Chains A and B, each alone.
Chain A
């Protein structure tokens, strides 16, 4: 019988060790599937993880793929940290993309020095506006933000589709895609010879800022307090509502900037596929990254790595490209499960299961906290 006991201090080596264990367990669980699909699991994993990191161009692709996930992952992590469960990064990302497209096509003559900040601010405002209503409902009336933010996602998607099939339909091709943004709005490339653009650099700077605020400032400590226990934070004089509201708005703004980055950095126009579920994957990134900015950066890059790798694996090894998602999803579940051990220490009880040991097992609600 194994019991879980609350840990006093978490050793520094623990989190990396657990993630390592999670990777091994994921391999054990998915290897039979890959073999069943007709490939050698070892070779497939090489393709997924190692191959994309072997050439500068494919490394660039990994960074490019991870860019939107950096924004959404960071957005989700910041909101979650303050106890605001923002499931709506997808919608905020989309309205950010809409805002960028609108300013980019309407003011298409603006030079880059003004255009890029303009687009970023517009996208951030749009994202913040999109989260404003759920945030106000949450702090004012305690209406569950999980539901409200989630429900606004399809609304944002319908907005995109409505625009693309209506006023923004491409006048030349008649395809449901917008006109191209003005040249001044195009993000410059930051790594020559690759497609890695300014959006990636902005995301990294935002992650660094987020780390600084969360780990080193009083504001960050108050945010964390609100997320850990709103009653405790309130007792200690933290303005719980204000903190939660501002964290939510920052979260929405970052997700919105992700949309800007995707439009101005890569697509140059709005399409119905501007987000490949980046908002939802952002939740995975934030959770796997233990809601820390450093974790978010690492996980976003790992997922980018696997996405790029899965493409080549499907070409070379004839494994269905969906196998990449199977591996990612398995990794998520295993990691979330195993990270419980960061807070709880397993103690093996040799005696047989008795009434008493049953009574001493920590109830699930406590483990979840």
Chain B
């Protein structure tokens, strides 16, 4: 196998020299140098938008650099398409798998290398087994991919890369979609393939993982490599500083620092005076009792009971697709529950529509921002849409009042937009600000907020977190649904873990060790 030919010592597998890439005014990569040696895991660490993914897209031929050179085995190479990259022995696994779900594992692997001419299923299956063997995993070559877990699907993606005899494997935030147990398995796989001489480029923004799995770490910030260091013995705190570019405010609360000193969460929020957790004995602002929502085959939400009190942030943790979406939809009044009871500020809103839910004092920040807003309408129209009747004069809309209201909200929430701009033309961060502003300006008793920082850059995420903490300080309750454990651990007072629509655990954030959470999130410990 070509991949196991001994390589000249000292010649890196990949060398990137002075790579520069800009998109309009934004310089995504600014003179990046990077080397990958055979048998090493090289982590690329950086915040969202630091330029990690752009750099990897350049290496994989998906993006053309403006300047710079790529050397493969010391030979200058031009890579203009993924096909070139594969020919050079580069494989990439992204967060979004390119798998055909109704097809089997073998068929998927074959598909990726299909050329004209006859295909042999038996040969392909043998190759799949060989590749699985190299990975050190067992996989059912005839299983339909759609039936596999996310972790297994990721393994199929890695198999696809190995099937093409890749020597350089790019893993773009591979752990973002995995439960803790699958992360362990992935790391074992990564270690195993590097002993065979492969180089792995590991993209992440999670410090703990980087420290665990990599040999060297390069920290990217605003398109530049800030430093490349050996991972052994590195201080996570130092990496965090490199990554964020200023001493991190640190964890917001002591309980997010684990006993061994590693940060679970490099909180992106400024220090807030802790207002003290929920007022003991105060009536809950959100009271969900034995809530059930029908789903396909089984209940999507199955007997969920939870409460949010004034002045606390309650987190819903869980791997995606375990009923969070349906829970939020019901709370937002856009789906009907099949059983149970919902009270907002004491008022029964079970099965109520959006208007009643909002009127009861619930703020809705749905994960589907573009579905929650009307992106073809203007910012001002969106800001008033939930309360249109308040902006009427007779049968007509009072356009002056709408404009004045919108200008006020835009200023108070620092939205970078004009009232007349269509929401669809705004950046992701500003879209989220519009959604946040229209809800929070009403000072709801309780805010239901789902995946609020997904896809946002650091600055915008920080803003969102700050807003949620401000609500908490002002005595509102917040129900935060997120797949980002770091976010939950940094912000929440309590965590409720959902698995297959059921609450598998409820615990104070202080007691939320990741292993414990992982078990709860996979239903292993109910």
Contact = CB atoms under 8 A, between A and B. Distances in A.
B48 interface: no
B410 to A, nearest CB: 14
Nearest to A352: B64
A7 interface: yes
A8 B81 CA distance: 32
A231 B371 contact: yes
A228 interface: yes
Contact of A218 (B353, B372, B389): B389
A9 B424 CA distance: 10
B139 to A, nearest CB: 31
A234 interface: yes
Interface stretch (A96-104, A131-139, A195-203, A353-361): A353-361
Contacts of A225: 374, 377, 385
B62 A356 contact: yes
A235 B372 contact: yes
Given A7-B425, A229-B375, A235-B372, A221 B358 contact: no
B3 interface: no
A224 interface: yes
A354 B358 contact: no
Contacts of B397: 216-218, 221
Size class of B's contact patch? 35 or more
Main secondary structure of the interface of B (DSSP, over half): loop
Interface string A336-361: 00000000000000000011100100
A228 B418 contact: no
Interface string B348-391: 00000111001000001010101111111100010001101101
Contacts, number: 86
A232 B371 CA distance: 5
Instruction: Output the residue of A8, A222, A235 with the most chain B CB within 10 A.
Output: A235
Given A217-B397, A221-B388, A359-B62, A236 B374 contact: yes
A274 to B, nearest CB: 36
Contact of A232 (B62, B373, B389, B420): B373
A353 to B, nearest CB: 11
Nearest to B394: A217
B421 A8 contact: yes
Contacts of A231: 368, 371
A6 B426 CA distance: 10
A192 interface: no
A237 interface: yes
Contacts of A218: 388-389, 391-392, 397
A356 B388 contact: no
B334 interface: yes
A145 B335 CA distance: 25
A233 interface: yes
Contacts of B425: 6-9
B418 A229 contact: no
Contact of A228 (B63, B377, B399): B377
Interface of A: 6-9, 216-219, 221-222, 224-225, 228-229, 231-237, 354-356, 359, 369
5 contacts: A7-B422, A216-B397, A221-B385, A231-B371, A359-B62
